[in-house]
Homo-oligomer: A and B are copies of this chain.
Amino acid sequence: MTTPNYQLFSLGSNPELASEVAKLLNKDLSIVDIKQFADNEIYERIEETVRGCDVYVLQGISSPVNDNFMKLMIFIDAARRASAKTINVVIPYFGYARSDRKARSREPISARLIANMLESQGVKRVITIDLHTDQLQGFFDIPVDHLLAMPTLAHYFYEHKLLGDDLVVVAPGHSSFSRARKLAEILHAEWAVVDHRVSQLNPDAPFGVTGNVLGKRAILLDDIIDTGQSILFASRALKAAGVFEIYAVASHAVLSADSVSKLKQADLRQIIVTNTIEIPKEKQLDNLIQVSVAYPFAEAIRRVDAFESIEDIMKSPDNLDVKL
């Protein structure tokens, strides 16, 4: 008699990413029957025994966020009742993450609510990537293996030989400042900031851009592209400031509403995002490139299962240097 192996499930938010992860792990995805009725009620049944197994379930809390979240919760209930040994949730995109504090009285902190609901039903571990703020880890009492997309995004520029002295990493606003600085370090580039409030207070500053960008190639870096508004604003400011060409880079491509039309207006050389959110055909712009985070997720699962540290995966910028 031997201990059962772990099992990997996918609930439908990211079928391609799940397949890639499974392939990297040399696993077949285990089967769960999911039905959704006319009123959106979800039915699930796990088709294979999970008794005594470590279960990993990949499901993003991306559009439609509430349906996708409830699919995850119902799966957790079924797996727990079916005597799974542990339930580990792999969440490529953590919806509601931006509701992480009360900015005004009587607001919810929905990200904590999501954390509470997961934890209260017996989830043992969360594996996720590029949370909106690092403090979200503290919304959980269970272990959170927090991966970083930056090595994967940075690797794109190495791989396509896009580095150079004329490269500048630009934060499209105050809150992306430290991300931009970090990427600049990895790419041996300078950095700059676009801040629309800068222009108000320093009216003489050219177009609200702080830093030397004239004649350069700019990487506009954000964690989420949602409405596309700030990318559009920042790209206009950069062009006006004499930037030669712009790459928009982000971890999570929410691409809501009319973001596509805004991104078209933004005159971008390329838009480089990861596949933490599956992008529907009609939003796949010609200049949109999706780089896959299957490797960090697969490697994290492999190491967690093998009781190895995942610290290296998150430090990978160093590995990138070596590849140069």
Contact = CB atoms under 8 A, between A and B. Distances in A.
Interface in A235-271: 254, 256-257
A210 B177 CA distance: 14
Interface residues of A, number: 98
A101 interface: yes
A26 interface: no
Interface stretch (A157-165, A215-223, A305-313): A305-313
Contacts of A142: 80
B113 A37 contact: no
Nearest to A99: B43
A63 B51 contact: no
Interface string A129-151: 00001111111011111100000
B3 A39 contact: no
A24 to B, nearest CB: 17
B39 A254 contact: yes
A184 B3 CA distance: 40
A309 B191 CA distance: 44
Contact of A75 (B75, B108, B120): B108
A41 to B, nearest CB: 5
Contacts of A102: 81, 134, 137, 144, 146
Interface string A203-240: 00000001110000000000000000000000000000
Contacts of A45: 104, 106-107
A106 to B, nearest CB: 4
Contacts of A95: 39, 41
Q: What is the total number of copies of this protein in its complex?
A: 6
Interface in A146-196: 146, 174, 177-178, 181, 184, 190-191
Interface stretch (A14-22, A66-74, A287-295, A316-324): A66-74
A165 to B, nearest CB: 13
Contact of A67 (B4, B40, B136, B211): B40
Nearest to A109: B138
Contact of A113 (B74, B202, B309, B314): B74
Interface string A90-119: 000001100111111111111111001100
Given A80-B143, A138-B101, A65 B41 contact: yes
A141 B76 CA distance: 11
A116 B143 contact: no
15 contacts: A41-B95, A49-B307, A49-B311, A66-B66, A75-B108, A77-B113, A78-B108, A83-B143, A109-B137, A111-B138, A112-B138, A117-B121, A120-B120, A135-B138, A190-B201
Given A37-B256, A66-B66, A101-B134, 4 more contacts: A51-B304, A83-B143, A113-B121, A202-B212
9 nearest A-B pairs in the assembled complex, by CB-CB distance: A52-B307, A38-B256, A39-B63, A135-B135, A101-B134, A49-B309, A78-B108, A46-B106, A77-B108
